[in-house]
Amino acid sequence: MGKKTDSSDLMTKDENARFFNDEESIKPEISSDSPQERLLKLDKNFNYEVFLEGAKKAFNLIVASYKQNSLEKAKDLISTNVYKAFKKSMEENKDSNSKKSNIKITSLDASILKVEVVKKLARIKVQFLSTQDIENSKESSTKIKDVWTFEKEINNQNPNWLLTEVSVE
């Protein structure tokens, strides 16, 4: 026969096998706690419907500012990296003499794809489905799917979320 193994020996080995770098370790009794629920617990005033309405307003403002080459209007809503990327794109479009048309967003739907909470930083990925019409042209209606990621320090009193990532599909 072999050596008798005490169940406490196994528990010690299991506990040592876990690696958590976060101060808020994952506890089995709250493992079903989704990031959505964590965000609501950490920010008692947060409301998903209000967030989506604000995200739509930000989308309209940022897209309009970009199309009008006046991104400064939306600078407080955009992270430094995204701002630099937008400015670079605007310069490239300007240099290539691409014709800028006035574009009007005629419909806009938004839905949350993913919510992440890391310590006190909340990150929400939003899918925007928009129909954009080129002004003075009835045939030039385009449906566009954008995925934007917004971030906010939960304890920050500023109500604005920063746009930190953009992708177009």
| Averaged pLDDT, groups of 10, the chain, 169 residues long | 39 35 34 79 92 97 92 95 94 67 86 95 97 76 94 92 92
Structure pTM? 0.75
Q: Which position has the token pair 């193994």?
A: 5
pLDDT, residue 133, reads 86
Cα separation, 102 vs 134, whole angstroms: 6
Q: What residue ranges do the domains of the chain occupy? A: 33-168
DSSP letter at 74 equals G
33-168 has which fold? Nuclear Transport Factor 2; Chain: A, (3.10.450)
Residue 99 in contact with residue 136, Cβ under 8 Å? no
Q: Is 163 exposed, middle or buried (0-12, 13-18, 19+ CB in 10 A)?
A: buried
DSSP 111-148: EEEEEEEETTEEEEEEEEEEEEEETT-SS-EEEEEEEE
